[in-house]
Amino acid sequence: MSNATKVNEFLDKAKLFYFLTTDGDQPKGRPFGFHLLDGDKLYFGCGTFKNVFKQLTVNPRVEVLAVNGGEFLRYDGVATIVKDEALLEKVRAAMPQIMELYDKNGWEMGLFYLENGHAEIRGMLDLKEEFDV
């Protein structure tokens, strides 16, 4: 199993995760649910009109935090924005209602993955696994 697959499976089990950026010197976090494993990359997406997207373009160092049962995942790296129509079609298939709303309102979905990623899976008291993604 690839390391990207490990992160993807943890996020699948957690269902909801938190995406962390900075706004100047202020940390910002918000709940996310969408992620898509394609090949060896784990993609995330959000509207390009949202503050989170603007924040990650100014400072692309980001972190994902997810909790599942008694374990939690930290996954950090540098957000790399991609423009790929084939990938966007996979997003449309995965989230048809959301993409219909985006199309109806003329919004753009910004897709990105984390380069130089590092992940940790921890229990409340110990490190279970640590790896590069």
Q: Which residues contact 94 (CB under 8 A, 6 or more apart)?
A: 34, 36
Residue extents of the structural domains in the chain: 3-132
How confident is the model at residue 60, as a pLDDT? 98
pTM, two decimals, is: 0.94
Residue 124: predicted pLDDT? 87
For the segment 6-33, the average pLDDT, to the nearest whole number, is 97
Instruction: Summarize the confidence of residues 66-73 as an average pLDDT.
Output: 96
Question: According to the model, what pLDDT value does residue 59 have?
Answer: 97
Residue-wise pLDDT tens digits, 73-124:
999 999 999 999 999 999 999 999 999 999 999 999 999 999 999 999 999 8
pLDDT band at 14 (very low <50, low <70, confident <90, very high): very high
CATH number of 3-132: 2.30.110.10
